[in-house]
Structure 1
Amino acid sequence: MSATATPHTTPHPTSAQAPSSLDAVWARLSHAQVLRRRALGILGTLAVLAMPWIGSAWPDEGSVHQGLEWAGLALLVLALLGRCACMLYLGGRKGADLVAEGPYSVSRNPLYVFSMLAVLGIGLQTGSLAVGLVLALAAFGVFRWIVSEEERMLHAAFGAPFEAYCARVPRFLPRWAAWRSPQHVTVDLQGVWKTVRDALPYFLSIPVFEAIEAAQDAGWVHVHLWLY
């Protein structure tokens, strides 16, 4: 999510924004988030259904194939740790604050950046760079859409401070030189553990795609498209 207000709270309205208008913005964002989850679920389902007929052009035991799988695992671990780091700064907020510290000081949407890395890592478990990139680009399309909805809400809620934040921090690609962080942060441990729980299914891609490869090698399914 973007530099954001604490979940489940409503920001104080700006002078140009009535409470009823803010409620409408929050309702629209909530609906958009439901659509995002559905879109990602459909994307994941289609990928699993299609993969038995798509194979890596790299030999299963070759260094490239194995290297891509290990790189994918590293990305999954990075995504898990990165999402937890975001929650360290986001989850402990008690009020409706514009979070612009830690990961949110270098990217307006670090949670989505790490989610895209996770999707790339999942795709690389097939041993194909092309599959990983296609899945990551599809996820990027979904996230880019939801970010536009979130930024509309944040602009309505925070006005000029959010505009200044957008001018200073990139939407996705981190600007590491802009990193800033307080010496101490209040941590919501329940939120961090929830983040870990939500991210653990990423690692199910490893046995799922290994099972698909085994089925392909055994001749139970036939590959129709080979990708590098």
Structure 2
Amino acid sequence: MRLKDRLARHGAFAFRWRGLGPLVLLPAAIPALVESVRIELWAGETWNDLWMAACLLLSFAGLAIRVATVGFVPAGTSGRNTSGQRATRLNVTGMYSVVRNPLYLGNFVILLGIVLSLKVWWFAAVFGLAYALYIERIVMAEEDFLAGRFGAGYATWTARTPAFWPRWRNWRNPDMAFSLRTVLRREYNGFFFILLAFTTLEAFTDMAMEGQSLDFWLADDWTWPALFMLGLAVHFTLRTLKKQTRLLHIDGR
């Protein structure tokens, strides 16, 4: 088997199980958490709070990239499907006019914010390398599929549009209007995931590794459980609306 075909085959496998990709970082996360606690104690609470706030904003910037993508796309594209590739049309406007993989870019920024919150430089470097290798194979499988489906049109688009780093001068206005209901239907999981990840890291490092009691943590770091409860309420509300009603559904989206 040619190396290109082998990588594409690996990419198809990774595409199917891409939601589990972050788990490969778990072995490196344990020593990173230990070092994170040491750095936090050395730097002090004020500096740590400011750093965590900046990292949280970075993750929400990644979510904003996804929102700016998903809010303009039609049905049948930019999906969360895992069983296989699908595309009824080629997206070449909006975020897709400046970068070919805006959703993966958004995911990277979301995860980067979470990883940087640990304040461990080598763990961030490991994450960056692992993500690049992982996404490269997924994108290769997707590009094989899209090239076969859209032919010359796809080749023209890839020639002018970078794969991962945006080229903003290429911007073309989206073909469709922005749909807030589509965003609410499709991105509530990402919103909750960010708040869950930050709250879990804060709770684990403070209670399991620094020995704080639950009562003390809830009183001292009340912001994180409050944000978690907000995320949980938003998640279940939007999930119920999506599963039980047609309120968030728009034909063609």
1:162 matches 2:147? no
Aligned to 1:80: 63
Distance of 1:168 and 1:96 partners within structure 2 = 21
Distance of 1:47 and 1:115 partners within structure 2 = 20
| Cα 1:115/1:47, change in 2 over 3 Å | farther
Distance of 1:46 and 1:63 partners within structure 2 = 29
Deviates more, 1:91-100 or 1:163-172: 91-100
Within the candidate set 139, 150, 155, 1:147 is matched to 139
Within the candidate set 53, 57, 63, 2:34 is matched to 53
Q: What is the alpha-carbon root mean square deviation over aligned residues?
A: 3.1
Among the aligned pairs, what percent are the same residue? Answer: 25
Distance of 1:205 and 1:197 partners within structure 2 = 12
- Within-5 A mapping of 1:61-210: 61=44, 65-92=48-75, 96-182=88-174, 184-185=176-177, 187=179, 189-190=181-182, 192-210=184-202
Aligned to 1:33: 15
Unpaired runs of 5+ residues, structure 2, are 1-8, 78-86, 213-253
Q: CA deviation at 1:188?
A: 7.9
Q: CA deviation at 1:186?
A: 6.4
Read off the aligned partner of 1:100 and give its amino acid letter: V
Read off the aligned partner of 1:98 and give its amino acid letter: L
Aligned to 1:217: 210
| Cα 1:36/1:93, change in 2 over 3 Å | closer
| Cα 1:52/1:213, change in 2 over 3 Å | same
Q: CA deviation at 1:63?
A: 5.9
For normalisation by structure 1, the TM-score amounts to: 0.71
1:116 is paired with a residue whose SS is: helix
Contact 1:108–1:166 (CA under 8 A) maintained in structure 2: yes
Q: CA deviation at 1:123?
A: 0.7
Q: Deviations over 1:46-87 (max 9, x none)?
A: 455554433253534266544432221111111112112111
Read off the aligned partner of 2:210 and give its amino acid letter: D
Deviates more, 1:169-178 or 1:56-65: 56-65
For normalisation by structure 2, the TM-score amounts to: 0.65
Distance of 1:60 and 1:145 partners within structure 2 = 39
Distance of 1:112 and 1:86 partners within structure 2 = 11
Q: Which structure has the higher relative contact order (CA within 8 Å, separation 6+)? A: 1
User: Which structure's residues are more often helix, by fraction?
Assistant: 2
1:80 is paired with a residue whose SS is: helix
Read off the aligned partner of 2:17 and give its amino acid letter: L
Aligned to 1:10: none
Contact 1:68–1:129 (CA under 8 A) maintained in structure 2: no
